[in-house]
Amino acid sequence: MKTGRSLWMLAVVALVLVAMYVPILVGGYGPRLGLDLQGGISVTLQALGEADGAKMEKAAEIVRRRVNALGLTEPVVAPQGNNRVLVQIPGEQDPDRVLKIIGSTAQLQFREVLEIIYPGSENYETTEVTAVNPDDPEAYQALKDQEIVLEKEGKNGERLKVRLGPTRLTGDIIDTADAAVDQERGGYKIVFQLTSEAAPEFATLTKELLGKQLAIVLDYNLESFPTVQSEITDGRGEITGDFTREEARDLALVLKMGALPVEFDPNPLVENVSATLGRDSLRRGLIAGLVGLVLVAVFMLAVYRLLGIVTCFSLVFFGLLMFGIISLLGRYLHWSLTLAGIAGVVVSIGISADSSVVFFERLKEEVREGKSVRSSADRAYRSAFRTIVAADAATFITAFILWILAMGPVKGFAFTLGLATLLDVFISYFFTHHAVSLLSRLKAYNRPRLVGVGKEVLGGEG
């Protein structure tokens, strides 16, 4: 092969690296680490009752918008099967408020007030407050269609018992909601606007309850029960209560982002991954990769002598390209590197070395027949490249199928493994072949013993 063509091919590798690392260095980008590598919080929301894939997709989207609205760093929100939603928030150190937002079912209900029972009333002691047990899904959901009794603190601090009729409307009729200062009572309130479709329905309800009280119930907490003074036709309403500024803002956020299409267990599975554990996982992963890299380099140098130097450089370029792609994917596509992804990278070190082995073994066969390294390099590569492409194609197909079918961290493993096979073909074609072709022009590379061929060479050095 002509020297000029080989130099151009090596220049392609250099240009790709420059194009990749200029934005990385200028922008200070790095890999976006997953939950298991930097710590954080993982929440699994379990649906109560019947659910399906479509509902869980919608629920995941609503939870995702809620979490994103809080400005949290790169959350992962994904449905898991037909009845769960997984929420992972890497790097979160103060999860209490987040849990309140993403775990809140925010089931807003409008109910007619049937009776207000004051302390000292004849039936006050005999009236039982409705027990709300989220651990019993059927009973919990049945409450929507039943009369219930909830407690509410009165103006004088007394505990009122309020009998409420079945649910008339739910929170999915809300279009927008915002926190506002309650000028009349002090503190904060939530003002909301109904959807255009729901406004007539709400107008009908308020017309029916004119002069009566309409209770606003949020997750079976009685927030307020204002008297309907007039028919509300503009679709606007408000929720009053003893809200702090932050509580009002968070509640408005939940309502504005939409009611969840399914009810979730109010006690979600919460797993905290400490930052220390994440750093330890990252350290162990990097050590595993470094040890694997060193051992492969030592092996290649021991078996293929000077040719092993080419493999060492190809592994360096492989590592630079892999790091650069992962950094850019994290920056622009929000792809996170997990511990499983690191495992895929470590395994791919062997894949990259395998391609060199295939090429060098074919080259050594040519040299054993008495040919020079220089005259054998191109012919050996043409033969070896077909094997390299076939092997990488088989690995890529396997990784792709695994990526399609797998869930969670396994997808990270499949992704890095598949990416490694593509990089291996690129490096093999643009670097390994042409680096050997150029080096074969040196005298040292035309001594069979220095490329791993010893006494067996026909007419060789012995």
Query: Between 440 and 272, whose confidence is greater?
Result: 440
pLDDT higher than 60, residue 460: no
Check residue 278 and give its pLDDT.
65
- 122 confidence band (pLDDT: 50, 70, 90): confident
Taking alpha carbons only, the member of 204, 207, 209 closest to residue 225 is: 209
The pairing of strands 236-243 and 188-194 is antiparallel
- 462 confidence band (pLDDT: 50, 70, 90): very low
- 419 confidence band (pLDDT: 50, 70, 90): very high
pLDDT higher than 60, residue 103: no
Residue 42's identity, in one-letter code, is: S
CB-based contacts of 250: which residues, under 8 Å, 6+ apart? 97, 100, 101
Check residue 199 and give its pLDDT.
83
Query: Between 416 and 261, whose confidence is greater?
Result: 416
Check residue 461 and give its pLDDT.
43
Residues in the chain: 462
Taking alpha carbons only, the member of 381, 360, 374, 359 closest to residue 452 is: 360
How far apart, in whole angstroms, are the C-alpha atoms of residue 123 and residue 149? 13
Q: What is the average pLDDT across 31-58?
A: 78
Cα–Cα distances in Å, from 348 out to 286, 319, 322, 392, 394? 14, 10, 10, 11, 14
Pick from 153-162, 194-203, 429-438 the range whose average pLDDT is largest.
429-438
DSSP 338-350: -HHHHHHHHHHHH
Pick from 185-199, 352-366, 436-450 the range whose average pLDDT is largest.
352-366
Check residue 276 and give its pLDDT.
65
Cβ atoms of 82 and 56 within 8 Å: the answer is yes
Check residue 431 and give its pLDDT.
93
